[in-house]
Chains A and B, each alone.
Chain A
Amino acid sequence: GDSVTQTEGPVTVSESESLIINCTYSATSIAYPNLFWYVRYPGEGLQLLLKVITAGQKGSSRGFEATYNKETTSFHLQKASVQESDSAVYYCALGDSTNTGKLTFGDGTVLTVKP
């Protein structure tokens, strides 16, 4: 079946440092998966951070970036300079472009940014 593997947390970085959270996927039943990063801030529901539906494209939001790499089946999340407010749980996910809303999630990576 389809699967998503991401950096095992928890990850702790200091404010203004750079960040990368790795994500690789296996889409055995989907020819052209759509890729997503979702985030859960403390006390809130899961929300979309960014998505990319075309291989080779880059998505960005709130200073975060991720590039859909079909060759390496990766979708790593990066940020050049993190802030304390970025502390949250980050989930990589893939979905079927034919689309039913069925998303396959990774385990989530807990990120703590120290001031």
Chain B
Amino acid sequence: GPKVLQIPSHQIIDMGQMVTLNCDPVSNHLYFYWYKQILGQQMEFLVNFYNGKVMEKSKLFKDQFSVERPDGSYFTLKIQPTALEDSAVYFCASSWTIANTGQLYFGEGSKLTVL
């Protein structure tokens, strides 16, 4: 079936550095999402993105976070600067229509470790 690819699968960085997580969504999908899962906790919504803009973001989406998808390339989540509490697995998802009528397709996740 359709696949969402995430790069890298695992990244280790020092606190204060910048990190960019990349997501290659399903072709022709229009809506994009990031979710965050801290070890042992539930997967939580961070942000969604459509037509070049953030539609909604949660309180977990701190000022240090940003998302973009320049010219139909990767949908990215950038964290600058990183903090220890940013250590988590970040899941990207995409959908053809908005999530509750359409189907979300998730990637396998990018595990971020901040030291």
Query: Which residues of A approach B to under 8 Å, CB–CB?
Result: 4, 34, 38, 43-48, 51, 53, 91, 95-97, 99-108
Contact = CB atoms under 8 A, between A and B. Distances in A.
Most buried by A among B56, B100, B108: B100
Contact of A95 (B31, B99, B105, B109): B99
A48 B98 contact: no
Contacts of B98: 99-101
Contacts of A100: 48, 55-56, 98-99
Contact of A101 (B4, B99, B105): B99
B31 A101 contact: yes
Nearest to A46: B106
B95 A101 contact: yes
B106 to A, nearest CB: 4
A96 B101 CA distance: 10
A96 B100 contact: yes
Contacts of B104: 38, 46, 48, 101, 103
> Chain A: interface secondary structure?
loop
B45 interface: yes
B107 A99 contact: no
25 contacts: A4-B42, A34-B100, A38-B104, A38-B106, A43-B108, A45-B4, A45-B105, A45-B108, A46-B106, A48-B104, A53-B101, A95-B100, A99-B98, A100-B55, A100-B98, A100-B99, A101-B45, A101-B98, A101-B100, A101-B104, A102-B56, A103-B104, A104-B45, A105-B42, A107-B42
Given A53-B101, A100-B99, A102-B58, 9 more contacts: A38-B106, A46-B93, A101-B33, A101-B48, A101-B95, A101-B100, A104-B42, A104-B45, A105-B44
A100 B56 CA distance: 7
Nearest to A34: B100
Nearest to A45: B106
Nearest to B48: A101
A19 to B, nearest CB: 22
